[in-house]
Amino acid sequence: MKSVNTELGATSELFMLLASIAYVVALIFFVLDLVKSSRTIGAVEARLAAGQAQAPAQAKVLAGARGGASAPVPAGPAMADTSMDYSAGPRRSSARIAVALTVVATVIHGAAVLTRGIAADRVPWGNMYEFCTTGALVVSLIFLITLTRKDLRFVGSFVIGLVVIMLCAATVGFATPVANLIPALQSYWLIVHVSIAVASSALFTLTFAMSVLQLIQSSREARIAAGGPDKAGFMRLVPPALSLENLSYRLNAIAFVGWTFTLIAGAIWAEEAWGRYWGWDTKEVWTFVIWTVYAGYLHARATKGWTGTRAAWLSIVGYLCIVFNFTIVNIYFSGLHSYSGV
């Protein structure tokens, strides 16, 4: 029989707590960055407007608005660079601290998940607590990896906020001490099926955040185009809706392939465990619903009149289904998958 190391399990829980604290501080800095940067940009704009009284009031200001830039002044709402590259803007010191803190938090978080796995002598995703904590780690890792390629710091407060929520849910709602796996979960398909499910869900988490911002941004763009006031000033840090849509489409495509794999691997496992690869068990139903909604999303992107806002809504609905599947279905619906450990 495998041995469970409860002491190491307790250490893991301590790490998890430390990581949560670090994330919360990182979150505060991300929010601070949004507030500060939008204020800086506002000030720059005011100066520009004052300096070029004849020019149209709206200056195009990039995420890194260079003070007193003599840039051409095209009309249009101010917002970040389309490319989401790190441009040479003013130092966003809060954002830098926030990212550094996120790295620290992720390292501690990784240690927590790792020690949990070692303590249990198996992969650390066998119950709700573990799905949540490991899932949050993957969200944070994917966010950091994406950050090395694109300047996505604008979604930082959103994504890290979700990570904090996931960790809170895990430690408060689903707390479970380390333990062995029940026979139903003793299968290598647990490793394959659940890891890809968690990774895909993490990607969907990221695109969910981006789709929400896309909706806010596009209504802001529309309002400004109609000559209205720019109420959501902090959205100046966020790239235009179209580039948000394009990036989240690419991430959603990867996540969708992952989800398709999850579905197939789940079916193979179901065949091995229960003798049928598909039986419309509640968990299977919701996995299918999620798959279909995202398939709809991919179709929407190719359907006239369905790109943009409507596609973003589908991406959001898909994510809400994922959350529903993970929380309500796991806890309240009975079915063959009822071994969430709550």
Partner 1 sequence: MLNKDTARTEGTQPDAALPALGFTGTLRWAWKQLTSMRIALFLLLLLAVAAVPGSLFPQRSANPAVVTTYLQDHPDSGPILDWFQLFDVYSSVWFSSIYLLLFISLIGCVTPRAIAHAKAVRAKPPATPRRLSRMPVYGTLEIPAAQASGAAITPASAVADAAALLKKRGYRVDVRDADGDRPSVAAERGFSKELGNLVFHSSLIGVLVSVAVGGLFGYNGQKVIVEGDTFVNTLVGYDAFTPGTNFSDDQLEPYSIRLDAFDVQFDRALESHYGQPLDFTASLTTQAGPDAEPKKQTLKVNAPVDIGGTSVYLVGNGYAPVITVRDGEGNIAVQGPVVTIPSDGLYTSLAVIKAPDARPEQLGFVGFFLPTAFVDEKGVSFSRDPDPFNPQLNLNSYAGDLGLDGGEPKNVYVLDTDNLTELNSRNSDNGGIVLGLGETYDLPEGKGSITFDGLKRYIAVDIHHDPAQLGALVFSVLALAGLSASLFIGRRRAWVRTGEHPDGRVLVEYGLLARGEDPRLPAEGAAVEKLLTSHWLAHPDKAGENQLQPAGAPAAGTGAGTDGDNGKDIE
Residue 188 exposure: Cα atoms within 13 Å on the Cβ side: 0
Name the packing angle between helices 195-225 and 156-168 (round to 10°).
Answer: 140
Closest contact distance (angstroms) between CB of 275 and partner 1 is 4
Produce one character per residue of 102-126: b if its CB has 16 or more CB atoms within 10 Å, e if not.
bebbbebbebbbebbbbbbebbbbb
Closest contact distance (angstroms) between CB of 222 and partner 1 is 20
Cβ neighbours of residue 101 closer than 8 Å, sequence gap 6 or more: 22, 23, 25, 26, 29
Q: Could you tell which of partner 1, ligand HEM, none binds residue 306, using a CB distance below 5 to 8 A set by kind?
A: partner 1
- What ranges in 182-308 are assigned the alpha helix state H? 188-189, 195-225, 241-274, 282-300
Of residues 85, 92, 87, 95, the one with CA closest to residue 69: 87
| Smaller CB separation from ligand HEM, 5 or 260 | 260
- Gap between the Cα atoms of 154 and 138, Å rounded: 19
Identify the residue among 148, 226, 302, 332 touching ligand HEM (CB under 6 A).
Answer: 302
**Residues of the shown chain interacting with partner 1 in the complex, contacts defined by CB under 8 A:** 1, 3-4, 6, 176-180, 182-184, 186-187, 189, 246, 249-250, 253-254, 256-257, 260-261, 264, 267-269, 271-282, 285-286, 288-289, 292-293, 295-296, 298-307, 314, 329, 333
| Smaller CB separation from partner 1, 153 or 193 | 193
Number of helices and strands in the chain (H, E):
10, 0
Identify the residue among 298, 327, 333, 339 touching ligand HEM (CB under 6 A).
Answer: 298
Closest contact distance (angstroms) between CB of 292 and partner 1 is 4
Binding range to ligand HEM, per CB under 6 A, among 173-181, 204-212, 244-252, 297-305: 297-305
**E strand or H helix that includes residue 58:** none
Q: Could you tell which of partner 1, ligand HEM, none binds residue 327, using a CB distance below 5 to 8 A set by kind?
A: none
| Smaller CB separation from ligand HEM, 9 or 308 | 308
**10 Å Cβ neighbour count for 196?**
20
Q: Evaluate whether 217 touches 79 at the Cβ level (below 8 Å).
A: yes
Closest contact distance (angstroms) between CB of 26 and partner 1 is 28
Radius of gyration of the chain (CA): 22
DSSP 181: P
Kindly state whether residue 53 participates in binding ligand HEM, applying the rule CB under 6 A.
no
Q: Could you tell which of ligand HEM, partner 1, none binds residue 271, using a CB distance below 5 to 8 A set by kind?
A: partner 1
Identify the residue among 28, 295, 323, 336 touching ligand HEM (CB under 6 A).
Answer: 295
Q: Could you tell which of partner 1, ligand HEM, none binds residue 54, using a CB distance below 5 to 8 A set by kind?
A: none
| Smaller CB separation from ligand HEM, 104 or 298 | 298
Tokens found for residue 309: 């806002």
| Smaller CB separation from partner 1, 176 or 219 | 176
| Smaller CB separation from ligand HEM, 315 or 340 | 315
Binding positions for ligand HEM, rule: CB under 6 A: 295, 298-299, 301-302
